[in-house]
């Protein structure tokens, strides 16, 4: 009897799901002599282990709390955690209620659910070039067409976007941005351009998905109001009239592996998303949500201060190393926060080929830039992160990388 | 400025996602004077709280383990947990490797991912009538047509199923069953009918999704081999040649709220599912997986014995109460395990109308049967569970229900 032929039963959408190079790259992290600037992962030294342990113990030592923490719970999410988020959003210019909040398993699940709710095959998603690779992976399953979002409008009119979408047999369904210290570029969208983006979205009658994963990690300069807060202000303070979908996460500020993120938006969208959550995995881990509610309450502000302090020094070390080590013709961004720097190599140097040589010859890893483009990849780009390696490793690793690029040019 | 019109941007699939009556019913559980036979939830007295607390403490007290437990991890799932599952499956007639195992957020996420991988709009899913409501919710988002699966074949030929699917513009993509102590009926599929189901699936060239949520909870009688184990045996012991997709969960045997389930199948399917998991939520909570690996190792067998002992007594109490309290014309199943009994009322009594009266007049809750039908609902049915209420409550609640039905007939 021959093996069952699975290819016969896969849906067309499954063909859009491809392995990313990041998966292979993460395996490199297991090799101790590699200096890795690849994964966008937080430094475990920042994890509030004791606060988490204390919260777990308090919950599990109380029979009533333990029974609640280990039992099925509502799809919307744990109410005290949603109240903390309401308070957090309120302090950041977004008055809302718990009916505007859904808890997700990290913001990756938020992006998956939003694409699931919004994209029919052939519809258009507007994304920046480059944009977050994980967003493209989440969206791909719903078979969109992509068009390049130019946040300041450039010379693209709303009608141009709409016509191109219609020509593909669908409609523009949303614009997706990482406005603060973007993954992968580290660049922040100005307030003016956030307003222009809201105007574009209004012209196209579509929502804006604001992926705020790095927003809290600002090292310097003045905070730019979130797109949702601008949208709320423009609508008389009424979140129910807004079109912005804010995706938040504790992964970069507290800890990733409890898988707790959230969506804040007008309640008609949240109500649909609650059904998606129920059909998707019933609810996020009750225990993890109860722990996160306690840890956020006691530890969030202090942990953000610690993270900013640690990552600022590393950003500074990376800026100094790049200035010292990179040959002429190499350019890079100067992020005011977040985890990433985007490097543009001289034309003709392919980031993926450079990675193979970097690992083999210099024991340094990063992510080739082309993984971050939905269409028309600029292959002479790479993303480096400054969150995992320490300052000495950054100086050493960027030095090695500079020498390799110098040899590649020469 | 008027509110944004979300209905304008929802994908067609989002129209298929509807609130289930179970959500409303679960709210009734908060009313302390209601005797609820509604939710299919385990008794929290069975939760291995101390084992969980000990595992958490061990992990978080060790800096290296804590850093691992709180950091991003691979989409496939924590290796020692997958090894435990390999061992568990091996003991149950399914030799496999960790490459055949994906960890999911409960089996609800398994059902969502499988439908996502397999169903294009208009394709046909074969499901029993009645079947698990959560499976229908998961599948609905991918816009299938449903056809009624008759596990023993009845007088339906494979060609009949295939022709009906083709007439709808799609193909049969899978058959879904809960073979042991099914939700909602409590009925177990015989070994002969499991073999017939595999033959049907072979004729149709489709996989079988085996939802084994209740398999371990057998109170009496001989265990029936899992469909996957029969499939493996028929293929010379080689899981790589099988078509059965086994969905397991710790929700009913240990604890639901850590959200840990698993899929075991041939590796070509698992590889696709790993991409789905990565795009869907990156990975399940690392800490929860590490805790579950430890708790399963130390506590699984003993906890299953405790669960069987508790639920058997309650099943017996429910059988006795039904025999004592139900008027003539009411029929019910006699489950050998699991959590549920399925009651068929005299024709003309609607389960949903009965629920409204049961709550108002008798302070008893259950789930109306029609929620469990993909098509052609039999509305004179209800599901009662015997896992949450104790024996005295079961006797009292079924007594009240019997009196109400008697009045309804009268």
pLDDT tens sequence for chain B (410 residues): 578 999 889 998 888 877 665 556 556 556 778 999 988 889 999 999 999 999 999 999 999 999 999 999 999 999 999 999 999 999 999 999 999 999 999 999 999 999 999 999 999 999 999 999 999 999 999 999 999 999 777 788 999 999 999 999 999 999 999 999 999 999 999 999 999 999 999 999 999 999 999 999 999 999 999 999 999 999 999 999 999 999 999 999 999 999 999 999 999 999 999 999 999 999 999 999 999 999 999 999 999 999 999 999 999 999 999 999 999 999 999 999 999 999 999 999 999 999 999 999 999 999 999 999 999 889 999 999 999 999 999 999 999 999 999 999 87
CA angle A113, A116, A119 (to 5 degrees): 135
Q: B-contacting residues of A 209-268, CB under 8 Å? A: 234-236, 240-243, 251, 255-259, 266, 268
| Dihedral sign computed on CA atoms, order B120, B122, B127, B133 | positive
Nearest-Å Rg of the Cα atoms of chain B is 22
- What phi and psi values does residue A337 have, to the nearest 5 degrees? 180, -170
Residue-level pLDDT at B82: 98
Of B10, B39, B258, which is closest to A287 when you measure between CB atoms?
Answer: B258
pTM of the model: 0.96
Q: Which among B7, B52, B108 has the least Cβ separation from residue A60? A: B52
Rounded to a whole number, what is the distance in Å from the CA of A319 to chain B's nearest CA?
Answer: 26
Whether residue B53 and residue A52 make contact (CB cut-off 8 A), yes or no, is: no
Least CB–CB distance from B60: residue in A3, A52, A138: A52
Size of interface A-B (CB pairs under 8 A): 268
Q: Please name which of B154, B155, B190, B194 lies closest in space to residue B175, comparing C-alpha atoms.
A: B194
How many other CB atoms sit within 10 Å of the CB of residue A165?
A: 23
- Give contacts of A4 with chain B, Cβ < 8 Å: 205, 207, 241-243, 266
List all residues of chain A from 119 to 158 with a beta carbon under 8 Å from chain B: 119-120, 123, 134, 137-138, 140-142
> How close does chain A come to B409, measured CA to CA in Å?
36
pLDDT band (50, 70, 90) for residue A145:
very high
Q: Are A38 and A382 in contact (CB under 8 A)?
A: no
- Report CA torsion sign: A391, A397, A399, A405: negative
Identify the structural domains of chain A with CATH numbers, from first to last: 18-47+301-409 (3.90.1150.10), 49-299 (3.40.640.10)
Residue A29 confidence class, pLDDT cut points 50, 70, 90:
low
A316-348 residues labelled b (16+ CB within 10 A) or e (exposed) = ebbbebbeebbeeebebbebbbbbbbbbbbeee
Cα(B86)–Cα(A108) distance, rounded to whole angstroms?
28
Q: Would you call the peptide bond into B130 cis, given omega within 30 degrees of 0 as the criterion? A: yes
In this prediction, residue B88 carries a pLDDT of 98
Q: A285, B74: Cβ pair inside 8 Å?
A: no
Residues 18-77 of B with CB under 8 A from A: 18-20, 23, 26, 39, 41-42, 44, 47, 49, 52-53, 56-57, 60-61, 63, 66-67, 69-75
Decide if B9 and A206 are in contact by the 8 Å CB cutoff.
yes
Interface of A with B in 313-372 (CB under 8 A): none
- Give the tens place of pLDDT for each residue, A209-249: 999 999 999 999 999 999 999 999 999 999 999 999 999 99
Question: 257-286 in B: which are within 8 Å (CB) of A?
Answer: 257-259, 266, 268-269, 272, 275-276, 278-286
Contact B66 A73 (CB under 8 A): no
Chain B residue with CA closest to A26: the answer is B74
């Amino acid at each position: 009897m021959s093996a069952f032929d699975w290819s016969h039963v896969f849906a067309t959408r499954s063909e859009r799901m491809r392995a990313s190079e990041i998966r292979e790259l993460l395996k490199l992290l297991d090799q101790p002599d590699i200096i890795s600037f690849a994964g966008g992962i937080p430094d475990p030294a920042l994890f509030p282990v004791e606060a988490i342990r204390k919260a777990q113990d308090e919950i599990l030592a109380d029979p009533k709390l333990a029974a609640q923490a280990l039992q099925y719970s509502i799809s919307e999410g744990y109410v005290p955690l949603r109240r903390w988020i309401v308070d957090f959003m309120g302090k950041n210019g977004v008055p809302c209620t718990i009916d505007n909040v859904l808890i997700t398993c990290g913001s990756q699940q938020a992006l998956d659910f939003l694409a699931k709710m919004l994209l029919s095959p052939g519809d258009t998603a507007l994304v920046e070039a480059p944009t977050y690779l994980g967003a493209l992976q989440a969206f791909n399953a719903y078979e969109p067409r992509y068009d390049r979002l130019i946040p300041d409008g450039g010379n693209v009119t709303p009608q141009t976007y709409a016509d191109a979408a219609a020509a593909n047999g669908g409609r523009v369904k949303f614009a997706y941005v990482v406005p603060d210290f973007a993954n992968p570029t580290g660049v922040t969208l100005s307030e003016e351009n956030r307003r222009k983006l809201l105007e574009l979205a209004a012209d196209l009658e579509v929502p804006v998905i604001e992926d705020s994963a790095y927003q809290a990690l600002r090292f310097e300069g003045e905070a730019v109001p979130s797109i949702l807060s601008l949208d709320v202000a423009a609508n008389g303070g009424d979140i129910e009239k807004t079109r912005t979908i804010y995706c938040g996460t504790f992964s970069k500020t507290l800890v990733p592996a409890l898988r707790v993120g959230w969506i804040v938006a007008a309640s008609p969208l949240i109500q649909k998303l609650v059904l998606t959550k129920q059909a998707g995995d019933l609810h996020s881990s009750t225990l993890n949500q109860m722990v996160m509610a306690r840890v956020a309450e006691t530890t969030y502000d202090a942990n953000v201060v610690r993270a900013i302090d640690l990552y600022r020094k590393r950003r500074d070390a990376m800026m100094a190393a790049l200035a010292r080590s990179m040959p002429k013709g190499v350019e890079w961004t100067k992020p005011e926060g977040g985890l990433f720097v985007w490097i543009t190599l001289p034309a003709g140097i392919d980031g993926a080929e450079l990675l193979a040589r970097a690992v083999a010859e210099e024991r340094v890893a990063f992510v080739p830039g082309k993984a971050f483009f939905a269409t028309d990849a600029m292959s002479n780009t790479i993303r480096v992160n400054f969150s995992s390696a320490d300052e000495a490793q950054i100086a050493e690793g960027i030095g090695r990388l500079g020498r390799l690029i110098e040899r590649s040019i020469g």
